[in-house]
Amino acid sequence: MKNCLSFLLSCLVYTSQAQVSSILPSPVTYVQSEGSFQINQALTVNPSEINSSLFTQLKELGTIYHQLRIEPNVQNAMLQFKKLENVKQDSYSINVAERITISYSSDASCYYAMTSLMQLMKRNENGLYTPKCFVKDFPNFQWRGLHLDVARHFFTVEEIKRFIDLMSYYKFNTFHWHLTDDQGWRIEIKKYPKLTEMGAWRDSTVDNHYTTVPRTYTKARYGGFYTQEQIKDVVAYAEAKYVTIVPEIEMPGHARAALAAYPEYSCTGKAQGVEGLWGIFDDIFCSKPASIQFLKDILDEVIPLFPGQYIHIGGDEAPKTRWHSCPKCQDIMKENHLKDEHELQSYFIRQMDAYVTAKGKKIIGWDEILEGGLSPNAAVMSWRGFDGGLEAAKQGHYVVMTPGSHCYFDHYQGKGKDEPLAIGGYTSLEKVFTFNPIPPDLGPEVSSYILGGQANIWTEYIPAFSKVEYMAYPRAIALSEALWCANKPTYDVFLSVLVQDHFPQLDQWKVNYSKSALKASVKTIRTNTGIELKSTEQSIENGKIKETSISFPFTRSKKKTKTETVTIHPEDESIRQTIQITNHLALGANVRFVTEPSPKYNGGDIVLVDGQFGARPWKGHEWIGFDTNVIVLEIDLGKVMKIHEIKVSFLQDENSWIHAPNQIVIESILPKRSDGIGMKEGPSIDGYAPNSEIWNLPYKGKTRTIRITISGEPEIPNGLPSEGNIPWIFIDEIQIN
Ligand code: ACM
Ligand code: ZN
């Protein structure tokens, strides 16, 4: 019986290992059999079995993946093609036995099969081979998209083509080209030449993160645009790789570049330059008929360039300040019985919808287009979470899910301070892998309106294409897994295929991808004498993930504050991490939250005494966040100590509604007797400094328990984001010296 059981177990292990292929996104079915099919240096094909474009693509894939020659052989080709009828959309199969057979239902699916075949190939001493196997595959979602913002930073036609190449190798089929924004207009419009003569160029660009004050600017002319001929070339290039381009022309907001060229289409008519700062700006297109006509004229030139179904009209982040004080906008509201400016935006978008629909296309817009009523034919791209998309789907509108939580590739992908500057937020490879555009428990009726998902790559902090690659890869591969594969493997299996089979391929293509997912995860643990950093890292051994941990102890220091650095993997820049520990008397001390932090930003009380300072721009986990304006907490030093200063550090980030406090009161409590019995009050101090990030409070005397009362503004002052609401207070460290 025991033998029987162990035989059965080993079979299970064998079969479950055998079902993992090197194809990403993972195919729906993969069955490997004994043996392999030797290809060596050239693969023969009967070219008459597929169209000439597919044959060209096959030759290109052969070269780019493996330097493999594709040679014609009419009689006895190694690779044969068969057309399938009446099967799921875009499904294909690959059978590798005495020869290779690709069966496909559409030209796109034939291309997908070819990319899968390339990913199956391995090399031995004779050249290339593939394991004998059977692959059956089809996409789970029909919209598998990547977006790229070329307005904040501009990328050349060659770079855009490389972006399309890479996405097509991972079975993406939609490229959302964000062509216009406040900081640049990037598409030639012949009727309005100033859009590119003036709107494509800015005179300065903000340095550093835009929340870093005081701001400095690089005063250099920056910009670029695509001619209509270049656009046609890119569209044809993408089409040959089964990628549809969705152009985005932003309206009514994010319009500063267009209005720099044609200020007459704003509400004020006042000329302003192309914006050099990132953010949201009050000057948007006026809703008057002349502005609507201007945008229709632009769409007249945009629509014929893009053969796909959808035109993206933006619709996000349009402040209504100018519309509110514009007599023309207010007249339009009265004439059309619109109750507020949201309804005016809806009225604006409806006109675009009718115009685009009459031309046989459909509009898609960011989820703000729901506000004030969704236009009849509009599809929605849900970016502020899933809710907008769900609401639109319930109303019977098509939806693409791009929630910031899973799909914003301008967020950090690693927690380390070594990550290159990003806008903020944290969206790890694993988080992307777990993405499902259809939230749990959604019925089939509503789900049927969810077309799929997309990642967005906003480029405020991505000035070079190599950094686009860094932010996109490998997260785009995890996204393709989430969107393509109806029965995803576990994250561990995905990661091991990614690292073993795809990282070498990306290396060969010289893609500047990130290895942050392989960086050690570092936890701070409280010890009796201070803290310990425990670094745990994953490596792939024999196709399995192995974890290894190392600890770095720190004993709380009685001396003046000193800073020590731990470097993990100093030898390899791609996974290196440096962590600075600023030692002090309260390192690892017990902290009691009298006021509970918000559960959203509570990484544990150790964060306040771990000797580590939060990153700026903040990423969340290194800070403790409170959504109240009076905070009380206590620190117990464990024994009576003589101290001379208390330093508390906060975050001031008005754009994230986080304000540093105005007042701190320190009280101290210490035992009356050396055996700890009885309590008496120690010295107390009081500091007042509005919105100060760093508080340095001198303290004279002995103490054991310190009670800190922190008070912030009761509400966010007028004129600042989220005015009138209680500000957040974020603390990263309480140092005691
Ligand atoms: C967006 O991120 N503003 C759509
Ligand atoms: Zn107006």
Model pLDDT, residue 193: 98
Tens digits of residue pLDDT in 66-118: 999 999 999 999 999 999 998 899 999 999 999 999 999 999 999 999 999 99
- Report how far ligand 1's centroid is from the alpha carbon of 383 (Å): 6
Check: CB of residue 146 under 8 Å from CB of residue 176.
Answer: yes
For residue 383 and ligand 1, the question of a CB distance below 6 A is answered with: yes
Atom of ligand 1 nearest to the CA of 456: 2
- The position carrying tokens 């550090």 is 649
Cis amide bond preceding 474, omega within 30: yes
Model pLDDT, residue 331: 98
- Report how far ligand 2's centroid is from the alpha carbon of 332 (Å): 9
Strand pairing partners for 128? 40, 123
Atom 2 (ligand 1) nearest CA: 383
Strands 79-83 and 69-72, bridge-based pairing? unpaired
Answer yes or no: is 376 within a domain: yes
Atom 3 (ligand 1) nearest CA: 316
Strand pairing partners for 535? 522, 550
Domain co-membership, 113 together with 176:
no
For residue 199, the 8-state DSSP code is T
Domain co-membership, 173 together with 55:
no
| Average pLDDT value for residue range 646-667 | 90
Domain co-membership, 297 together with 360:
yes
Answer yes or no: is 395 within a domain: yes
- Does the pLDDT at position 689 exceed 80? no
> pLDDT-based confidence at 120, cuts 50/70/90?
very high
For residue 316 and ligand 1, the question of a CB distance below 6 A is answered with: yes
CATH number, position 245: 3.20.20.80
Given 488, 516, 536, the domain boundary residue is 488
Strand pairing partners for 72? 45
Tens digits of residue pLDDT in 139-152: 999 999 999 999 99
Domain co-membership, 400 together with 309:
yes
- Report how far ligand 2's centroid is from the alpha carbon of 292 (Å): 11
**How many domains is the chain partitioned into structurally?**
3
Average pLDDT value over all residues in the chain: 92
Instruction: Give the span between the Cα atoms of 299 and 474, in whole angstroms.
Output: 35
Answer yes or no: is 549 within a domain: no
Given 89, 113, 137, the domain boundary residue is 137
Q: Catalytic residue at 60?
A: no
Q: Report the candidate in 615, 645, 611, 571 with the shortest Cα–Cα distance to residue 730.
A: 615
Helix (H) / strand (E) containing 418: none
- The position carrying tokens 């990484």 is 603
Model pLDDT, residue 349: 97
Domain co-membership, 229 together with 192:
yes
CATH number, position 38: 3.30.379.10
Mind spelling out the 3-state secondary structure of 420-455?
Answer: CCCCEEECCHHHHHCCCCCCCCCCHHHHCCEEEEEE
> pLDDT-based confidence at 674, cuts 50/70/90?
low
- Does the pLDDT at position 26 exceed 90? yes
Domain co-membership, 67 together with 160:
no
Tens digits of residue pLDDT in 339-383: 999 999 999 999 999 999 999 999 999 999 999 999 999 999 999
Answer yes or no: is 335 within a domain: yes
Q: Which of 49, 316, 317, 430 is catalytic?
A: 317
Model pLDDT, residue 19: 84
Q: Which of 90, 149, 181, 250 is catalytic?
A: 181
Contacts of 522 (CB under 8 A, 6+ apart): 415, 416, 533, 534, 535, 536, 568, 577, 579
Given 444, 465, 488, the domain boundary residue is 488
Instruction: Give the span between the Cα atoms of 8 and 3, in whole angstroms.
Output: 9
Angle at 357 between CA 436 and CA 293, to 5 degrees: 115
Model pLDDT, residue 5: 37
Domain co-membership, 392 together with 254:
yes
Domain co-membership, 414 together with 436:
yes
Domain co-membership, 292 together with 421:
yes
- Report how far ligand 2's centroid is from the alpha carbon of 333 (Å): 10
Model pLDDT, residue 655: 79
Q: Which of 254, 397, 406, 411 is catalytic?
A: 254
Domain assignment of residue 156, given as a range: 143-488
Q: Please choose from 181, 280, 313, 317 the residue to mutate so as to test ligand 1's pocket, defined by most ligand atoms within 8 A of CB.
A: 317
Instruction: Give the span between the Cα atoms of 4 and 10, in whole angstroms.
Output: 10
What's at 61, amino acid-wise?
L
Tens digits of residue pLDDT in 570-618: 888 888 888 999 999 999 999 999 999 998 888 889 999 999 998 776 6
Q: Catalytic residue at 181?
A: yes
